[in-house]
Amino acid sequence: MAMAICFKCGSAKSGALVACRSCNAAPRTNSEYAVSLALSDHLSSSDQLAQYSHELRNGKKLSVPREALVQALDALKDPQLLAMLGAQPQSAASPPTPAAPAPIRQPPPAAPVAPQRAASAPPPSKPEPRLTTTALHQSAFAVLSVTTRDNRKRIVELAEEKSLKLDHDVCQKARSDLTNPRTRLSAEVAWLPGVSPRKASQLVENLLHDPMALREESGLPTLAHLNLLAAAFEAVDGNHDADDLAEFIMETAYLAEELAPEVVLRDINEDRAVSGFPEVRAFDQIEAELTERKRYYRWAIKDALDRLPPMTLVQVMTETVDGVTSGGEDHAPGLIDDLVDSYEVEIQGILQQEGENVHKLIKAARDHAGSGEVAVKPYVDKLDAVARNWDKIAQPIQLSSKARGIDHEASRDLAYEIRSLAIDLFNKHDMLAQSQRLIGLIQELFSEVPEIADRVEQDADALTDIFQQRKQASARRDEWAREITYRAEIGVMFKDTLSISPQGVSWKGQNFPLDSITRVRWGGVSHSVNGIPTGTTYTIAFGNRNSEAVVELKKQDIYSTFIDKLWRAVCVRLLTEMLEALKEGRSLHFGDALLHDDGITLVKRKFLGSNEQVRCSWDRVHVWSADGSFCIGAKDDKKINAGISYIHGANTHVLEQAIRMGFKKPGLRRLSELLQ
């Protein structure tokens, strides 16, 4: 087993992470594990261990090098080690929460321990929190029942008197602490300066019976009030109401902001004037002591938090930071900033672990993206859950960082990783739904990280636009499908089905996909016998380059309805394709006419001699219908014209539509202008 020293009492023990046989303390938190590993011969020489032991026993600042702590924290990422630490039985004699100093920070001023006043948890039958002792009761003033106005002689007398009842060494140390000018100041600052001896005695007594009532005390000097509140935190147990505790921490933090060294100096010197001890003249001594006090307050709060179930701890931290920063908008009191820093160190391992899980899930989602959305969704589901968990734990740090005007780096990096997945899922795999979900998740979870919030808001807007466009396009597609779908039975005896739908146009078992149709024609021929109408035969033909289907029918309603559907399903496309072909400079034949973008070549018919081709610009021609044909002629020469049969000429109706549309456009020079 390794040679190690206890992180709490400085005694030698075998094994860095096992309980100390002297004080029963066992490391329980990540920072305590790290410090404990650093305080072992795994990371320190025997000389260093002796020095650390000396520092801990004398309440000095631990001089553990940062590199040792980094190595220890790195080792604490090992999953099996973490599992073992979680399963490690705690010493039965160890207190429910070890009073542990923060790593490499100075612990609170060591108070003499009165053996007969060992701390114990309040009995469960009593609903209100009660204490049997507190750090304040272990002050030298309390141990010897000395007031701040007692002189040296009185202190010595009381120490002798108390030695008869209490541990002699404890009493002598308390006497020494109060009579030695160097150590007296620490004891005074940790006591109730500015409070009368009688009131001080009463307050300390009340602390045991109703510690939380001290929060309502008014008119107390700030430092004394803070010392009482810090002691009251010892009454917080695992069942304490989270909201109330957050409120309590906020009250303490705001009060700590009001600490004024000059007021403390004045209060202490007023008592010293009575007790006969020399006045404190060095202002910086007071400031240094107050700095230590603030560390102690942070430690007292942290110690109380450590007694809470993990998720309650996170809740209290979040509520506290949220409250003091107004959701990350205002600066927090320094005590809260320190508390958050301490919290960040403690949860670093958990965040790293959760972060790694997120990385694994992102990788898995990417790896499976090629298999489609169904394969990716389970990973996005898990990612959602893990990221939420991560965010819940990181929330206090995010709020604090935002209030300090900085981004929480780990949150930002994680958010960017998720964003990168969201972008890839959309750009590379067209998974809009999953991408939107991830962006929404980032927006929800990382709103406290300004850089992310801004960036992701733009992403979300872009994806929402795309989503809307797709939705509209899909709706239009559905509408279009409804509009063009039609089916009719043709024939009297033997019926055949004529149908049109997004899948194509079918007639007598022959199907033409819509996109394959390159030509359409239709028209009706009225019949009569001796001038008496005998009905109309309608012809509809459609086909591709290789074949054509021709439908003949008698019913006008079927004919009209089908032509309407055909127009929407096919002719609009043919019209567009025709205009695009013209725009590319191609010329298209329609009967005798040759269609160009800027005009049409017609035939000048001559009575004698051969006909002549005449190219007319669009402003030179006019159109009309006659004898089942679409006619185009020159305005200035009746001999120049062309007639294109509706029923026999391919796409005559499309041509007519294009030219008539063009004529409605003032100043049209090219038909392709219709595309604009």
Partner 1 sequence: MGFLSNLFGGNKEDKALREAMAHIHRILDDEQFQLELVHPAMKAMLESAPAYDKDPNGTGPFGFTETNPIPVNGPIGQLAYLSRLETQSGQRILFHRLGAIGTVDVFEAASFNGAEWFILFVDLYHPRRSRLTPDGFRFTKDVAQFSGFLKFCENFPYDFVEKKASQRESGLSMAYIAISKVSDQIQNGVFNRPLAHKAKLELVKSRLSSVQTQ
* Closest approach of partner 1 to the CB of residue 85, in Å: 7
Q: Which residues bind to partner 1, rule: CB under 8 A?
A: 1-2, 15-18, 37, 42-43, 71-72, 74-81, 83-85, 87-89
Residues 6+ apart with CB under 8 A from 540: 498, 520, 521, 522, 550, 551, 553, 559, 562, 563, 566
CA-nearest of 182, 181, 135, 174 to 155 is 174
For 442, the token pair is 């980032």
CA atoms within 13 A of residue 120's CA, in its CB half-sphere: 9
User: What secondary structure does DSSP assign to 298-355, as a single string?
Assistant: HHHHHHHHHTS-HHHHHHHHHHHHHHHHTTTTSPPPHHHHHHHHHHHHHHHHHHHHHH
Q: Please identify, using beta-carbon distances, which residue of 37 and 111 lies nearer to partner 1.
A: 37
Crossing angle (nearest 10°) for helices 409-427 and 450-484: 20
Inter-CA distances, 87 with 28, 75, 83, 314, Å:
11, 17, 6, 22
Sign of the Cα torsion 395, 401, 406, 408 reads negative
> What's the min distance (Å) between Cβ of 154 and partner 1?
50
Lookup result for tokens 């993990």:
310
Residue 15 CB, nearest distance to partner 1 (Å)?
Answer: 4
Estimate to the nearest angstrom the gap between the alpha carbon of 528 and the chain centroid: 79
Beta strand ranges found along 483-620 (DSSP E): 486-490, 496-501, 504-507, 510-512, 519-529, 532-543, 548-553, 588-590, 593-595, 599-604, 612-617
| List of E strands, 508-579 | 510-512, 519-529, 532-543, 548-553
Closest to partner 1 by CB, 89 vs 667, is 89
Give me 104's structure tokens.
């490499």
Residue 4 or 171 with smaller CB distance to partner 1 = 4
| Backbone phi, psi, residue 7, to 5° | -70, -15
The least distance separating partner 1 from the CB of residue 359, rounded to whole angstroms, comes to 17
CB of residue 48 to partner 1, shortest distance in Å: 16
CB 544 within 8 A of CB 516: yes
Interatomic CA distance for residues 97 and 305, integer angstroms: 10
Edge-first strand listing for the sheet containing 510-512: 486-490, 496-501, 504-507, 510-512
Taking the C-alpha atoms of residue 570 and residue 572, their distance in angstroms, rounded to an integer, is 6
Instruction: Say if residues 31 and 103 touch (Cβ distance below 8 Å).
Output: yes
612-617 and 588-590: which strand pairing? unpaired
DSSP state of 570: I
Pairing status of strand 504-507 against strand 510-512: antiparallel
CB closer to partner 1, 69 vs 640: 69
Classified as helix, coil or strand, 649 is coil
Distance in angstroms (rounded) separating the CA atoms of residues 391 and 414: 10
* Token reading at 168: 């002699």
Spatial separation of the C-alpha atoms in residues 138 and 131, rounded to whole Å: 13
